[in-house]
Amino acid sequence: MLIKEVFAKEVLDSRKMPTVSVEIITNSGKFKSSVPSGTSTGKHEAVELRDKNGSVKKAVENIKNIIAPQIVNKNFSNQKEIDNLLLKLDGTTNKRKLGANAILAVSMAACRAFSQENKLPLYKYIQKISHNKNKIRMPKPMILLFEGGKHADNKAGKEIQEFMIIPRGKRFSDNFETGKKIYNYVGRFLKKNKIKKALGIEGAYYSLGNELSLEIIYKIIRKLKVNCKTGLDVAASEFFKNKKYNLDGGKLTGKQMIEMYEQLIKNFKIVSIEDPFSEEDFDSWRIFNKLSKKSRKIMLVGDDLTVSNPSLIKKAINNKLCNAMILKINQIGTISEAIESFKIAKKAGWKIIVSHRSGETLDDFIADFSVGLGADFVKFGAVSQKERMVKYNRLKEIEREI
């Protein structure tokens, strides 16, 4: 594939924050990408390069002045070749020189261009380069209903961050409709009870507190008689200080957090808990993972713990810290590395959840990415805002196609 031109610019994400957009031109056409950005970020994530004023002008300039001269008017045979060049140009372990936002934007646009060169839909091209020999199947959505902490009005982040439902039907489109039905029902419930219907940054309703949010979800699932389970993203690193969890006004130990989770699992049919402990609290992760294996099959999901990084995933596997992970392509910075992370985790028997970020764009790349890899689940937020809906809608298009 001959790359003829590369253009980069600053655009705004769903939080009105600057992010990076790229367009690559080849003989086959024009291929665009725009990268997301997180609010609750793991400290080991690849570096998102920002200027002091919050802009991404330096990252854009790095594409124009460093990356583009090395790839324009040159032929590339596959995704890994261009990704390896990007990593070589950066030369750091965490992409702090060029910025993961600059590198990923080019990697994503190139992936789209390669899919066209190969005359394959993007999800089939990703299936090809990830050596996924399994039959194409659709992931199950984890649909956001309530959000708290830094995602809502609690800037201190001292509450559970996300409350999700996981519909269990066979078809993605049916699961999506179930999620939409419950989301709309929650809205009507809040209005009827004269509760403020403010939305968080991923389109879900503000949390009403940990137990009350879960009680409402559980009652609605039972009332509507739908096949759904419940999932949490605790984001515990956000309220971990001095080896204690400052949650809901209390200061809990890791042991007390485990006891709390055991009670929530029992009361509310929870099947997935993401980041229940700080990324530094290995002992609690290990103990809870062991308990989960013995008593019930709970998805214990690493995000801040693993940050889609192959070396950290291996560490978590070796230390038996969790049994599932979030895969966010901007945490690692290239498509090839994200594929490698998926393979390592899948080989260990983990469940994989391909996820959006709080600061999203109208780019739907991760929908194709999740299908091509064969991910078990997707996390795209609430079924409301347009930057979330384009991803859900793309999955519905793929389902119709296959």
Domains of the chain: 2-119 (3.30.390.10), 140-401 (3.20.20.120)
> Closest Cα to residue 64, out of 108, 8, 5?
8
Kindly indicate the confidence band of residue 156, based on its pLDDT and cuts at 50, 70 and 90. low
- Specify the pLDDT at position 39: 78
Q: Which residues pair with 210 in a beta bridge?
A: none
What average pLDDT does the segment 120-127 reach? Answer: 98
Residue 108 has pLDDT above 80, yes or no: yes
What is the pTM (predicted TM-score) of this model?
0.96
pLDDT beyond 60 at 176: yes
In the annotation, is 328 catalytic? Answer: yes
- pLDDT computed for residue 329 by the predictor: 97
What is the CA angle 304-378-220, rounded to 5? 100
H and E: helices and strands count for the chain: 14, 16
What average pLDDT does this structure show over 281-309? 90
Average the pLDDT over 284-300 and give the result.
Answer: 85
The answer on pLDDT for 47 being more than 80 is yes
Q: Which of 48, 162, 202, 387 is catalytic?
A: 202
pLDDT band at 159 (very low <50, low <70, confident <90, very high): confident
**202 assigned to active site:** yes
Token reading at 201: 């940054």
Q: Which two tokens stand for residue 16?
A: 């009105």
pLDDT (mean) for 343-351: 97
- The predicted pLDDT at position 393 comes to 98
- pLDDT of 101 over the 90 cut: yes
* The pLDDT value given to residue 158: 78
C-alpha span between 39 and 34 (Å, rounded): 17
Asked if 7 and 23 count as a contact pair (C-beta separation under 8 A), the reply is: yes
Collapsed DSSP state (helix, strand, coil) of residue 314 = helix
Give the pLDDT of residue 157.
59
pLDDT higher than 90, residue 196: no
Annotated catalytic residue, options 328, 346, 379, 391: 328
* 1-10, 114-123, 239-248: segment of lowest average pLDDT: 239-248
In angstroms, how far is the first alpha carbon of the chain from the final one?
27
221-237 mean pLDDT:
95
At residue 155, does pLDDT exceed 60?
A: no
